[in-house]
Amino acid sequence: MKLKSLHDLYIHELQDLHSAETQIKTALPKAIRAARSADLKTALKNHLEVTKVHVDRLDEILKRHGAKREDEKCKGMEGLLAECESMLAQEADDVIFDLGIIASCQRVEHYEISGYGTARAYAEKLGEEADTSLLAETLEEESSADDELTSIATMLQSQCDAGTDDDVETEAADRKPARTKTAREKVTAR
Ligand SMILES: [Fe+2]
Ligand SMILES: [Fe+2]
């Protein structure tokens, strides 16, 4: 279908977001079951509930414009969720494993933030006030989910071993090649 106007592009963006959110709704329960820390489990559970509301809001907006859901899958989200899935299959200690889940989930959040930022801007330009406020609410919720993941990650990072203890540093120093003379030293030595 040819996109003839900003309104057509706006609907196309909403349909893409609808597909992205639906895929997230299906994928989140697996990440919730896999998460090891109680804080991360709770944050993801809360975000699943919020995600269901996001799907409903998009349904409401699309209905208002007489547009149907797009059958085509959002491939960007499909790729991000495939990466998340392979992260869940990794073997790792609890803290590192949860940090890996957060890294994947924050990519997802940033993708959504980008999509909703665009959709909200189009809604505003098109004078769609009701849409603008619904999309702004969702955008706000995506940003706070992202912030919450950042604070859990910061807390987890403070618990994990960075793998740079003194022994490792000494070994690294031993492996350093002997310093070669600088050009100035070579000249002075003549
Ligand atoms: Fe969402
Ligand atoms: Fe989200």
* Amino acid 187: pLDDT: 55
Angle at 53 between CA 110 and CA 153, to 5 degrees: 40
In a domain, 75, yes or no: yes
Instruction: Give me the CATH number covering residue 25.
Output: 1.20.1260.10
Please list all protein residues whose beta carbon sits less than 5 angstroms from ligand 2, which is an ion. 112, 142
User: Is the model's pTM score more than 0.75?
Assistant: yes
**Closest of 106, 69, 65, 68 to residue 84, by C-alpha:** 106
In a domain, 180, yes or no: no
How far apart are the CA of 30 and the centre of ligand 2, in A? 15
Q: Which structural domain, as residue segments, surrounds residue 138?
A: 6-163
How far apart are the CA of 158 and the centre of ligand 1, in A? 28
In a domain, 168, yes or no: no
In a domain, 174, yes or no: no
How far apart are the CA of 172 and the centre of ligand 1, in A? 45
**Closest of 108, 102, 97, 103 to residue 51, by C-alpha:** 108
pLDDT by residue for the chain (190 residues), tens only, comes to 789 999 999 999 999 999 999 999 999 999 999 999 999 999 999 999 999 999 999 999 999 999 988 778 999 999 999 999 999 999 999 999 999 999 999 999 999 999 999 999 999 999 999 999 999 999 999 999 999 999 999 999 999 877 765 544 545 555 555 555 556 555 555 5
In a domain, 97, yes or no: yes
Domain count, the chain: 1
* Amino acid 55: pLDDT: 97
Sequence-ordered list of residues with C-beta below 8 angstroms from that of 30, at least 6 positions apart, any chain = 85, 88
Angle at 134 between CA 130 and CA 135, to 5 degrees: 115
In a domain, 173, yes or no: no
How many other CB atoms sit within 10 Å of the CB of residue 11?
22
**Closest of 118, 100, 112 to residue 47, by C-alpha:** 112
In a domain, 17, yes or no: yes
* Amino acid 168: pLDDT: 47
In a domain, 82, yes or no: yes
Q: Closest-lying ligand to the alpha carbon of 149?
A: 2
